[in-house]
Structure 1
Amino acid sequence: MATTFVVNGLASPVEILIDRWGVPHVYAGSQDDLFVAQGFNAARDRLFQIDLWRRRGLGLLSEVFGAAYLERDRAARLFLYRGDMHAEWLAYGSDTKRVTSAFVKGINAFVELCRKDQTHLPAEFKALDYLPSHWEPSDVARIRGHGLFYNLEEEVARALTLRDYGPEVEDLRRVREPEHALRVPPGLDLSAIPDDVLRVYRLATAPFPGPGEAPRPGLDGSNNWVIGSSRTASGRPLLANDPHRAVSLPGLRYIAHLSAPGIDVIGAGEPTLPGISIGHNGRIAFGLTIFPIDQEDLYVYRTNPADRREYAYRGRWEAMELVRETVPVRGGEPVEVDLWFTRHGPVIHSRADRNAAFAVRAAWLQPGMAPYLGSMDYMRASGPDDFVAAMNRWGAPGENQVYAAPDGTIGWRPAGLVPKRPNWDGTLPVPGDGRYEWDGFYDVDELPSVRDPEQGWFATANQLNLPEGYPHTVSYDWYAPFRHERIAEELGSRTGWTVEDCLRLQTDYVSIPARRIQSLLTHLTSDDERVVTALALLRDWDATLSADSAAAALFEVWYRRHLRPAVLGAELRRLLPPEKRTGALTRVLPAEDLAGDARVDLGLLFSGDVSGIVVSTLADAMAEVEGLLGPDPSSWAWGRLHRAEPRHPLTQRLGERDWTSAGPAPRGGSGDTVGATSYAPDFVQTAGATFRLVIDVGSWDDSVAMNSPGQSGVPGTPHYDDLFESWAADEAFPLLYSRESVEADLGERLVLRPAQEDVTTGG
Structure 2
Amino acid sequence: MRIRLRQRRHTVAGIALLTALTTTAALPPAAADRHEHPRGDGLSATIRYTEYGIPHILAEDYANLGFGTGWAQAADQVCTLADGFLTVRGERSRWFGPDAAPDGSLSSATTNLAGDLYFRGVRDTHTVEKLLATPAPAGPSRDVKDAMRGWAAGYNAWLKQNRITDPACKGAEWVKPVTTLDVAARGFAISVLGGQGRGVDGIAAAQPPTAGAREQASPSRDEIAHAARELFSQEDSDMGSNAVAFSGATTANGRGLLLGNPHYPWQGGRRFWQSQQTIPGELDVMGGSLLGTTTISIGHNSRIAWSHTVATGVTLNLHRLTLDPSDPTAYVVDGRREKMTKRTVTVPVRGGADVTRTQWWTRYGPVVTSLGAQLPLPWTAGTAYALNDPNAVNMRASDTALGFSKARSTDEVLRALRRTQGIPWVNTIAADSRGHSLFTQSQVLPRITDDLAARCSTPLGKVTYPASGVAVLDGSRGDCALGRDKDAVQPGIFGPARMPVLKDAPYAENSNDSAWLANADRPLTGYERIFGTVGTPRSMRTRGAVEDVSAMADKGGLKVADLQKQQFADRAPAGDLAAADAAKTCADLPGGTATGSDGTAVEVGQACRVLAGWDRTMSTGSRGALLFDRFWRKLTATVPADKLWKVPFSAADPVRTPHTLDTRQPGFATALADAVAELRGAGIPLDGKLGANQFVVRGDKRIPVHGGTESLGVWNKVEPAWDPKGGGYTEVVHGSSYIQAVGWDGGSCPVARTLLTYSQSSNPDSPRYNDQTHLYSQRKWVTERFCEKDIRRSPALKVVRVRG
Structure 2 CA distance for aligned equivalents of residues 533 and 302 of structure 1: 63
What is the match of residue 182 of structure 1?
none
> 1:588 maps to what in 2?
none
Report the CA distance shift for 1:532/1:385 in structure 2 as closer, same or farther (over 3 A). Answer: same
1:100 equivalent to 2:145? Answer: yes
Check if 1:679 corresponds to 2:728.
no
On the 8 A contact 1:13/1:751 being kept in 2, the answer is no
Deviation at 1:681, TM superposition (A): 4.4
Aligned partner of 2:114 in structure 1 is: 71
Root-mean-square deviation (Å): 3.8
Encode CA deviations 1:450-478: one digit per residue, 9 max, x unaligned.
2221xx22211112223454142233479
The 5 A counterparts of 1:331-730 are 335-349=355-369, 355-368=382-395, 374-392=400-418, 393-421=420-448, 422-423=452-453, 424=457, 425=465, 426-427=469-470, 429-434=472-477, 436-439=480-483, 440-453=492-505, 456-466=506-516, 467=523, 469-476=525-532, 480-493=538-551, 494-518=555-579, 520-521=581-582, 524=585, 525-529=588-592, 530-561=603-634, 563-568=635-640, 610=664, 612-630=666-684, 633-634=686-687, 636-645=688-697, 663=702, 665-671=704-710, 672-682=713-723, 683=729, 684-697=731-744, 700=749, 702-730=751-779
Q: CA deviation at 1:622?
A: 2.3
Distance 2:258 2:624 in 1: 33
Following superposition, the deviation at residue 113 of structure 1 comes to 5.2
For 1:360, what is the secondary structure of its paired residue?
strand
Instruction: Tell me how far apart the structure 1 counterparts of residues 590 and 717 of structure 2 sit (CA, whole Å).
Output: 36
Deviations 1:562-605 (A, max 9, x none): x2344249989xxxxxxxxxxxxxxxxxxxxxxxxxx9xx9698
Residue among 73, 86, 90 paired with 2:135: 90
Do structure 1's residue 265 and structure 2's residue 285 form an aligned pair? yes
Q: Distance in 1 between matches of 2:433 and 2:156?
A: 40
What CA distance in whole angstroms lies between the structure 2 residues aligned with 1:409 and 1:541? 39
Letter in 2 for 1:527: P
Change (3 A) 1:492 1:109: closer
Question: CA 1:551/1:432 → structure 2, altered by over 3 Å: closer, same or farther?
Answer: same
Amino acid of the structure 2 residue aligned with 1:418:
L
Distance in 2 separating the partners of 1:429 and 1:546: 45
- Quote the Cα distance in structure 2 between the aligned partners of 1:230 and 1:352: 57
Counterpart mapping for 1:274-289 below 5 A:
274-289=294-309
- SS of 2:40's partner is coil
What residue in structure 2 maps to residue 319 of structure 1? 339
Q: CA deviation at 1:249?
A: 6.2
Change (3 A) 1:121 1:552: closer
Q: Is the 8 A contact 1:9 1:105 kept in 2?
A: yes
1:220 has 2:236 as partner: no
Distance across 2 between alignment mates of 1:327 and 1:446: 42
CA contact (8 A) 2:243 2:259 kept: yes
Provide closer, same or farther for how the CA distance between residues 99 and 173 of structure 1 changes in structure 2, counting only shifts above 3 A.
Answer: closer
Q: Distance in 1 between matches of 2:578 and 2:773?
A: 33
CA-CA distance at 1:352 after TM superposition: 6.6
State the SS of the aligned residue for 2:384: strand
Residue 676 of structure 1 deviates from its aligned partner by: 0.5
CA contact (8 A) 1:690 1:727 kept: no
Q: 1:52 to 1:620 in 2, by over 3 A?
A: closer
Deviations 1:52-98 (A, max 9, x none): 22221232223433454333200234567827736765355997343
**Alignment-mate amino acid for residue 156 of structure 2:** V
Paired letter, 2:639: V
Decide whether the 8 Å contact of 1:398 with 1:414 is kept in 2.
Answer: no
d(CA) in 1 for partners of 2:495 and 2:334?
Answer: 29
| Distance in structure 2 (CA, Å) of the matches to 1:540 and 1:665 | 21
SS at match of 1:723: helix
> Aligned pair 1:5/2:24, yes or no?
yes
Aligned-partner residue type, residue 461 of structure 1: S
Q: CA deviation at 1:149?
A: 4.7
Give the aligned residue type for 1:546.
S
- Per-residue CA deviations over 1:190-243 (Å, capped at 9, x if unaligned) read xxxxxxxx9xxx9xxxxxxxxxxxxx9844210111123343345432211011
Residue 679 of structure 2 aligns to a residue whose secondary structure is helix
- SS of alignment partner, residue 678 of structure 1: strand
How many angstroms apart in 2 are the aligned matches of 1:697 and 1:668?
A: 28
Q: Is the 8 A contact 2:55 2:274 kept in 1?
A: yes
* Residue pairs, 1:171-182, within 5 angstroms: none
Contact 1:140 1:272 in 2 (8 A): no
| C-alpha separation in 1, matches of 2:750 and 2:326 | 69
| Structure-1 separation of matches of 2:380 and 2:277 | 57
What is the deviation of 1:677? Answer: 0.9
Q: How many equivalent pairs are there?
A: 664
Q: Structure 2: how far apart are the matches of 1:354 and 1:508?
A: 57
Partner residue in 2 for 1:236: 255
Q: Per-residue deviation at 1:522? A: 7.3
Looking at structure 2, the residues matched to 547 and 78 of structure 1 have their Cα atoms a distance apart, in angstroms, of: 48
Between 225-234 and 340-349, report the one with greater CA deviation. 225-234
Which residue in the other structure is 2:265 paired with?
246
For 1:84 and 1:103, the matched residues in 2 are separated by 13
Q: CA deviation at 1:534?
A: 2.9
Contact residue 708 and residue 718 of structure 2 kept, 8 A = yes
| TM-score between both structures, scaled by the size of structure 2 | 0.74
CA distance in 1, matches of 2:68, 2:663: 64
Change (3 A) 1:353 1:470: closer
Report the 3-state secondary structure (helix = DSSP H, G, I; strand = E; otherwise coil) of the residue aligned with 2:758.
Answer: coil
User: 1:357–1:71: structure 2 CA closer, same or farther, 3 Å change rule?
Assistant: same
Cα pair 2:389 2:446 within 8 Å, conserved: no
Q: The residue matched to 2:294 in structure 1 has which SS?
A: coil
For residue 17 of structure 1, the aligned residue among 45, 48, 51 is 48
Q: C-alpha displacement at 1:401, in angstroms?
A: 1.4
- In 2, distance between residues paired with 1:741 and 1:447? 39
Between the two proteins, what is the percent identity of the paired residues? 20
Q: For structure 2, which runs of at least 5 residues remain unmatched after alignment? A: 1-19, 27-38, 100-111, 203-216, 370-376, 458-464, 484-491, 517-522, 593-602, 645-653, 724-728
Aligned to 2:67: 36
> Alpha carbons of 1:138 and 1:420: their partners in 2 closer, same or farther (altered >3 Å)?
same
CA contact (8 A) 1:88 1:368 kept: no
Q: Which one-letter code corresponds to 1:624 in the other structure?
A: E
Q: 1:528 to 1:307 in 2, by over 3 A?
A: same
Given that 1:284 and 1:381 are in contact with CA atoms closer than 8 Å, whether structure 2 keeps it comes out as yes
Partner residue of 1:51 out of 62, 73, 82: 82
Residue number among 175, 178, 190 corresponding to 1:146 in the alignment: 190
Determine if contact 2:607/2:686 at 8 Å carries over to the other structure. no
Give the aligned residue type for 1:108.
A
Q: Is the 1:289–1:462 Cα contact (8 Å) retained in structure 2?
A: yes
Unaligned runs of 5+ in 1: 177-197, 203-215, 573-598, 647-657, 756-763
